[in-house]
Amino acid sequence: RIMEISRMPQFQGKIIFLEDYNMIVAKRLVTGVDIWLNTPTRPLEASGTSGEKAEMNGVLNFSVLDGWWYEGYRLDEKAGWALTDKRTFTDQAQQDKLDAATIYSMLENEIIPLYFAKNSKGYSPEWIQYIKRSIGHIAPQYTMQRMIEDYIERFYAPEAKRFAALSADNDKLAKEIAAWKQKVAAAWDGIKVLDVHVKEDIHQHNITGQPFTTTIKIDTNGLADDLGLELVVDKIEDNSEKRWAKIPFKAVAKEGSIVTFEVVDKLRDPGVFRFGYRLYPVNPNLPHRQDFAYVRWI
């Protein structure tokens, strides 16, 4: 169908189909491009490596805020152009029409006038500034060197350090963690919540700045030093919930296996909120809480 359209009189010379697309063709193509227009359907862009490739060659991007451009555009909004990541219509056909109209409007009223605002030397100084900002502020964040450094710093080096710690002394730490997990798992179902008490009724006096104190007493079933508790707050906006805050409790009293947790805080923001109390195992030797994903909502 695209080939048929390309042969229509009104589109002749405006739609080009390139067969056997490869690196040689790509090199020639990217060299001659001023705007890399990419309009994936939100949120289906897997990555956007073609836009990254164009970026590395001084081409300005104009794309939906999805994939790599969601991050890239925010590095410098004077180094390219973007369609919002927000949907206006649930119907995709209607959304496509709006996006198309927005694209044509931005091209006609902003991008193309900027390109043709040429000085006496035959080029647009502002357009060149966009290119320089793009190369200087965005391109360095999408090099292979930066990616490898991120992998080393965020993953390989910490993993190597942790492996060394776990395997030292005939895997001593690894065995201790495994034994601790077995202990927690065996006792977990025996944990009992004995009392939940909120000193100030925040349900009826939900005024911003209003302090409140919540006390929860738990029979830890032998896990007095192995549990954490937090207040989890979600804000309800636009018919959806967004995680607003996680506020840790403090253990203020211990009597055998019974631990009293307390949190003292205040309502900081206006709005409609939903909250709950989350109990979870605590061990400083875990790499992350999700490494042992036991949780109980109170």
The pLDDT averaged over each successive group of 10 residues in the chain (298 residues) is 90 86 88 89 84 90 92 93 89 91 95 96 95 94 90 96 96 97 96 88 57 92 95 84 88 94 83 88 93 93
Q: Are residues 134 and 7 in the same domain?
A: yes
CATH number, domain with residue 277: 2.60.40
How many C-beta neighbours within 10 Å does residue 122 have? 6
* Domain membership flag for residue 271: yes
Residue ranges making up the domain that contains 205: 180-297
The answer on 138 and 8 residing in a single domain is yes
pLDDT score for 111 = 96
If asked whether residues 121 and 202 sit together in one domain, one would say no
Strand order in the sheet with 81-83: 35-38, 60-64, 81-83
CA distances from 110 to 127, 137, 254 (A): 11, 21, 66
Clarify whether residues 96 and 195 are in a common domain.
Answer: no
The last residue of a domain, from among 112, 142, 172: 142
Q: Are residues 131 and 202 in the same domain?
A: no
Show the tokens assigned to 75. 């590095």
| Residue 246 located in a structural domain | yes
Let me know whether 129 and 193 are in one domain. no
**Res 173: pLDDT:** 97
Model pLDDT, residue 210 = 73
**Which of 120, 142, 164 is the last residue before a domain boundary?**
142
CA distance 172 to 175: 5
Residue 152 placed within a domain: no
For residue 229, give the nearest of 216, 211, 238 by alpha carbon: 216
Q: CA torsion, points 198, 201, 203, 204, in degrees to nearest 10?
A: 180
Is the domain of 134 the same as that of 235? no
Q: Is residue 163 part of a domain?
A: no
Q: Are residues 102 and 52 in the same domain?
A: yes
End residue of a domain, out of 89, 123, 142: 142
15 and 138, same domain (yes or no): yes
Total number of domains constituting the chain = 2
Q: Which two tokens stand for residue 136?
A: 């200087």
Euclidean distance between CA atoms 135 and 67, whole angstroms: 19
Domain-located, residue 148 = no
Domain match, 293 and 209 both: yes
121 belongs to a structural domain: yes
The verdict on 14 and 71 lying in the same domain is yes
- Write down the pLDDT at residue 79: 94
Residue 159 lies in a domain: no
Please check whether residues 264 and 205 belong to one and the same domain.
yes
Residue 39 lies in a domain: yes
